[in-house]
């Protein structure tokens, strides 16, 4: 509420208190209430007073009206939420935070380093709630600013955190502009296209130093000789190693002998296959010419002969 809403707010309170047959609050009380209700507009406060008047049998106090209003997003969050936000910030995320967040987390940090998450949370909640209560009793409001625990040399991520804060209502757009002015200047944007739809010509890159130019020339000379035989530009390759030469000779002999060995194995396999075929033909011939008694003996003789071969 603004100062120009005081008359309407005072009239609403007088009407509410009159329903309970109670005298209207003093101007000092009205001013105190308005200080606590500043984040809300007059319509929200009026609806809360009407809701209390219809549903309660006693005169309202400031806590009754505040309980009927939505939580101010610019106010300090609940302690568990604040602890979760600080864990994300410590992990490198950029977000809006307050002095109470940081001070309470310093109390919990030693316990977190000792891997006592539960006790760290309790210590944070206790310190955070005490500091927030003291600030509210002193009439202060949460002072939000962007954390700086990560790497953001050009301020891109911190500007995005400010945009999130404006969207969530934690800070106003004007406060975001003031906080953004404290950050490094944003990086240069892509140059606009010209009338023909082409990007403007980029400036020439700076000339390399003499040392860099010398190293580039050496590299080019080395790469240009890669297609030449190694013996011409690598001295140690010109003299063959005796051990390697002997190994290469043995490998060449082995590869040269492999075709002859393969042919010998194939010839032996063909002989065996021919022997099996001949034995089978002889058995079938005996089966046709011999009776049952002589057939078994003839077969055994043929088999024994083939095995011997």
pTM: 0.44
Q: Three-state DSSP class for 172?
A: coil
What are the tens digits of pLDDT across the range 152-188? Answer: 777 788 888 888 888 877 888 888 888 888 887 776 6
pLDDT at res. 164:
86
| pLDDT band, very low/low/confident/very high, at 214 (cuts 50, 70, 90) | confident
Q: Which of 5-19, 38-52, 260-274 has the lowest mean pLDDT?
A: 260-274
Taking the C-alpha atoms of residue 83 and residue 100, their distance in angstroms, rounded to an integer, is 11
pLDDT at res. 30:
87
DSSP code per residue over 141-185: ----EE---S--TTSHHHHHHHHHHHHHTSS-HHHHHHHHTTSPP
Residue 282 CB coordination number (10 Å): 16
Residue 223 token pair? 């790469």
pLDDT at res. 127:
93
pLDDT at res. 229:
58
Q: Three-state DSSP class for 14?
A: helix
Please provide residue 70's backbone torsions phi and psi, each rounded to the nearest 5 degrees. -65, 150
Residue 188 token pair? 């240069």
pLDDT at res. 129:
92
Query: With 80 as the cut, is the pLDDT of residue 54 above it?
Result: yes
What are the tens digits of pLDDT across the range 84-110? Answer: 989 888 888 888 889 899 999 999 999
| pLDDT band, very low/low/confident/very high, at 236 (cuts 50, 70, 90) | low
Taking the C-alpha atoms of residue 138 and residue 159, their distance in angstroms, rounded to an integer, is 31
Residue 147 CB coordination number (10 Å): 22
Query: With 60 as the cut, is the pLDDT of residue 306 above it?
Result: no
List the one residue out of 69, 68, 76 whose CA is nearest residue 98: 76
pLDDT at res. 249:
81
Mean pLDDT of 126-154: 85
Query: With 90 as the cut, is the pLDDT of residue 281 above it?
Result: no
Mean pLDDT rounded to a whole number for the chain: 78
Give me the long-range contacts of 133-136 (CB less than 8 A, separation at least 24).
Answer: 135/76, 135/100
% of the chain at pLDDT higher than 70: 72
pLDDT at res. 121:
92
DSSP code per residue over 237-257: HHS--HHHHHHHHHHHHHHHH
């Amino acid at each position: 509420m603004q100062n120009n809403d005081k008359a309407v707010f005072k009239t609403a309170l007088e009407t509410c208190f009159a329903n309970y047959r109670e005298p209207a609050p003093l101007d000092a009380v009205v001013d105190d209430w308005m200080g606590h209700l500043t984040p809300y507009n007059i319509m929200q406060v009026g609806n809360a007073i009407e809701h209390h008047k219809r549903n309660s049998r006693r005169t309202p106090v400031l806590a009754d009206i505040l309980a009927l209003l939505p939580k101010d997003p610019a106010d300090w969050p609940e302690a568990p939420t604040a602890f979760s936000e600080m864990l994300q910030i410590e992990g490198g995320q950029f977000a809006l935070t307050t002095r109470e967040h940081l001070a309470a987390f310093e109390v919990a940090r030693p316990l977190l380093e000792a891997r006592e998450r539960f006790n760290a949370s309790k210590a944070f909640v206790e310190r955070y709630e005490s500091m927030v209560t003291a600030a509210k009793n002193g009439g202060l409001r949460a002072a939000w600013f962007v954390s700086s625990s990560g790497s953001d040399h050009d301020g891109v991520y911190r500007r995005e955190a400010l945009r999130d804060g404006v969207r969530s209502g934690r800070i106003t757009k004007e406060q975001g502009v003031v906080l953004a002015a404290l950050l490094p200047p944003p990086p240069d944007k892509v140059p606009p296209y010209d009338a023909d739809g082409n990007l403007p010509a980029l400036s020439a890159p700076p000339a390399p130093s003499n040392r860099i130019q010398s190293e580039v020339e050496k590299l080019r000379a080395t790469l240009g000789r890669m297609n030449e035989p190694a013996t011409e530009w690598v001295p140690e390759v010109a003299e063959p190693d005796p051990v390697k030469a002997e190994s290469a000779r043995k490998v060449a002999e082995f590869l040269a002998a492999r075709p002859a060995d393969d042919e010998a194995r194939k010839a032996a396999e063909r002989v065996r296959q021919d022997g099996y075929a001949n034995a089978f033909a002889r058995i079938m011939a005996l089966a046709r010419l011999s009776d049952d008694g002589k057939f078994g003996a003839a077969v055994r003789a043929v088999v024994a002969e083939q095995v011997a071969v």
